[in-house]
Amino acid sequence: MRTHKWILALAALLTIGLAAGQTQLSIATGGTGGVYYPVGGGYAQVIEQFVDGYSATVEATNASVDNVAFISRGEADMALALADTVLAAYAGTGRFGPEGNLPQLANLRALTVAYTNAVHIITVEGSGVESLADLRGKRVSVGAPGSGTELSAQNILAAVGITYDDFQVERLSANETADALRDGTIEAGFWSGGVPTGAVLSLAESRQIKLVPVTDDEFAAINAANPTLIRYVYPAGAYRGIEETASVGTPNLLIVASEMDEELAYAFTKALFENIGVVRAIHPSANETVAEAALASPIPLHAGAIRYFEEIGLTVPDRLKVD
């Protein structure tokens, strides 16, 4: 099995935060087989090297749904989370609304839009799954419990008229989904992550994987139902044997609580964009992390981040200013 460079780089990052006399920050990420985890390690390295008085630890979590709660409750200082999850939590809709089982989290703020997660609807040769409609009657993982992957999967399936009653539901992480596809215990699985995702790369080395396409008509229905779900097209060769494939993507936000000290939010945002090469050296998804992308955030930006963006000449729209 090939070892990927960002996995090797993590070994040097995950113990960051032990320096004496520094305030330690917690960065909530996702499973170790995904992209949040190494990218969060890059953020930790930026803090350690360029934010005076602070160090950081990287926490593996079930990702977006858990992460927004950790930030809101003060159990993590920074987190990566999918835009559709963050917007629902901030606005108090869907699972975070009156008819859901989770509370509204109005104190969420964004530092930036980090990169776009591609929704991987993964299957393997011989599964009989060629389209979204083919998921009916199959064994399908919709993502780990409490994950943004599952929320995205629910939004996508509902928009095209598929419910959990139509297939056998499994709730597996990225690594677990790859293992189950490899072993034949499921026929398809959802995973929302940066490209490439380590767990999918590893699966593609032992099985011929396929990515289920999303047609133009299906995408139109999906985007109309949830505008944070945008068009994403996998380039040919994104994974071994993959042809260009039209799918769905969701921007990832780097989020904090409104209560974060403005000076800290400013110092980190400045350090991140002035030293983004640190994160890019760990995972190529960070090539999408540019200051201008922050202006596409679906929730307000933190006051410290706004201060930095205006300092470098960006015009931050009023809709992103609430503090």
Question: Could you read off the pLDDT of 134-170 as tens digits, one per residue?
Answer: 999 999 999 988 788 998 999 999 999 999 999 999 9
In the numeric block, which tokens belong to residue 38?
A: 């190494």
- Residue-number span of the structural domain to which 188 is assigned: 118-250
Backbone angles phi, psi at 127, to 5 degrees: -80, -20
Q: What is the b/e burial string over 216-245, where b = at least 16 CB atoms within 10 angstroms of the residue's CB?
A: eebbeebeeebebbbebebeeebbeebeeb
> E strands along 91-216, which residues?
108-124, 139-141, 168-170, 188-193, 209-211
Report the domain count for the chain.
2
pLDDT over 70 at 80, yes or no: yes
pTM: 0.81
Tell me what the mean pLDDT of segment 2-13 comes to: 48
166: Cβ–Cβ under 8 A, 6 or more apart, which residues?
135, 136, 137
If asked whether residues 162 and 221 sit together in one domain, one would say yes
* Last residue in a domain, options 250, 283, 303: 250
* Last residue in a domain, options 250, 277, 308: 250
d(CA 79, CA 67): 6
If asked whether residues 315 and 245 sit together in one domain, one would say no
User: Which residue, chain included where needed, has tokens 């839009």?
Assistant: 113
Q: What percent of the chain has pLDDT over 70?
A: 93
**Residues forming a β-bridge with 122:** 189, 211
